[in-house]
Amino acid sequence: MIKRIFILCTLLLATAYLILAVTTFNSKPADQVCKGMELTVKDSIDYGFVTDKEVKEILKKGKIYPEGKQLSSINVRQLEELLSSHPFIENAECYLTSGGKVAIDIYQRVPVMRVMSSNGDNYYLDNAGKIMTAAGKSVHVVVATGFIDRKFAQTELYPLGKFLQSDKFWESQIEQINVTPKQELELVPRVGEHILFLGKPGNYKEKFSKLRTFYQSALNRVGWNKYERISIEFNNQIICTKKEK
């Protein structure tokens, strides 16, 4: 019986100690100020759309820059909401550290295409197919022009943008997509003076596989500037129009 009482008292004391230790560790003096920020921008090596300097400017402009402020007055939820409103930030996670700093983890939105429509629309499509405002920022991605409404961009052009971004060769080769009034696709390559005609959207894997074979077997032999138009609209055939001399 005495042994059980001793064990119970020991457990109670250990529990009380742990509670006291956690409380003491997490408690901050009311006058303790924030010593700075620990900022991490995810995928910043591959995608430098959001910089440390830009994050600091956003917080300063919003008058909630945390450094030098009392820790008790810092609302990390407010920091997250302001940063997440930036068009190139998908999500922001903010929290106080044991060292008296504010840690901020930034997750970027990755654009796959810029749309500059004939109706005046100017925006990006991100890698989830969502629309991002241009916000005066220039990003090196394929540009889509012509007769494009937002529904067509998200349902038809987005899969093409994802396909191009997934293939390093085509990502570097295709610089512009033009949508005709009939909603057919014309592509402008960086190498060669021809126009690639895809016809209606879809079947990108098959069309580009056929085109790559043609590039390797024909254009490398006859020259990249021999044709002014190469059509891969139809299955199992490529129609080329020679340049007029």
Q: Is the dihedral of CA 73, 76, 81, 85 positive or negative?
A: positive
**Residue with the larger pLDDT of the pair 222 and 25:** 222
Could you tell me the two tokens for 208?
Answer: 């580009």
22 pLDDT band, cuts 50/70/90, is: very low
Q: What percent of the chain has pLDDT over 70?
A: 84
52 pLDDT band, cuts 50/70/90, is: confident
For residue 180, pLDDT over 50 is answered with yes
Q: Interior CA angle at 159 toward 189 and 200, to 5°?
A: 70
Given 56, 77, 108, the domain boundary residue is 108
Prediction pTM value: 0.73
> What are the tens digits of pLDDT across the range 131-162?
988 666 778 899 999 999 999 999 999 999 99
Beta carbons within 8 Å of 33's beta carbon, 6+ residues apart: 68, 69, 70, 71, 100
Q: Residue 59: its pLDDT value, please?
A: 94
Are residues 94 and 188 located together in one domain of the fold?
Answer: no
Q: The domain that contains 185 carries what CATH number?
A: 3.40.50.11690
Are residues 198 and 133 located together in one domain of the fold?
Answer: yes
94 pLDDT band, cuts 50/70/90, is: very high
Beta carbons within 8 Å of 112's beta carbon, 6+ residues apart: 124, 125, 126, 127, 141, 142, 158, 161, 162, 164, 165
Number of domains in the chain: 2
Q: In what order do the strands lie in the sheet with 37-41?
A: 37-41, 102-108, 89-96
Given 108, 141, 164, the domain boundary residue is 108
The DSSP secondary-structure symbol of 71 reads G
Given 72, 92, 108, the domain boundary residue is 108
